[in-house]
Amino acid sequence: MTDEQSQEPQLNMEDFLPSDVYTLAKSLIPLMYEQAWIYMGLTYHPKTKSITLDMEQAKFAIDCAAYLFENLSPRMPENERKQFEELLTNLRLNFVSRLKE
């Protein structure tokens, strides 16, 4: 085997990045939603395959999603804005519900 054949293929980060910052920021919102669900203990943590309860991290994920949404919503089409708004409201309601438990 030559050196060229034995080397792992190199991943180019540019292949994974969106074409602009707004698209990148918008793609982070669902990631923050998922993290909030995980840390509220409402879905399994993908690495540990267990339920994780850390309300401080859940709150931070919700706050990050809200901040991104707040700054991106003027650039979103109305149907997309409403969808993100509903998801954020649902997260907040579940957060308050989990605090009361």
Per-residue pLDDT of the chain (101 residues; tens, 9 = 90+): 455 555 666 767 666 777 888 888 999 999 999 999 999 999 998 888 999 899 999 999 999 999 999 999 999 999 999 999 999 999 999 999 999 98
Q: How far apart are CA 4 and CA 8, in angstroms?
A: 9
CA 62, 67, 71, 76: dihedral to nearest 10 degrees? 0
Judge whether 86 and 73 are in contact, CB under 8 Å. no
Give the span between the Cα atoms of 76 and 31, in whole angstroms: 18
The answer to whether residues 39 and 62 touch, using CB atoms and an 8 Å cutoff, is no
Query: Which residues, including other chains, have CB under 8 Å from residue 13's CB and lie 6 or more apart?
Result: none
pTM: 0.80
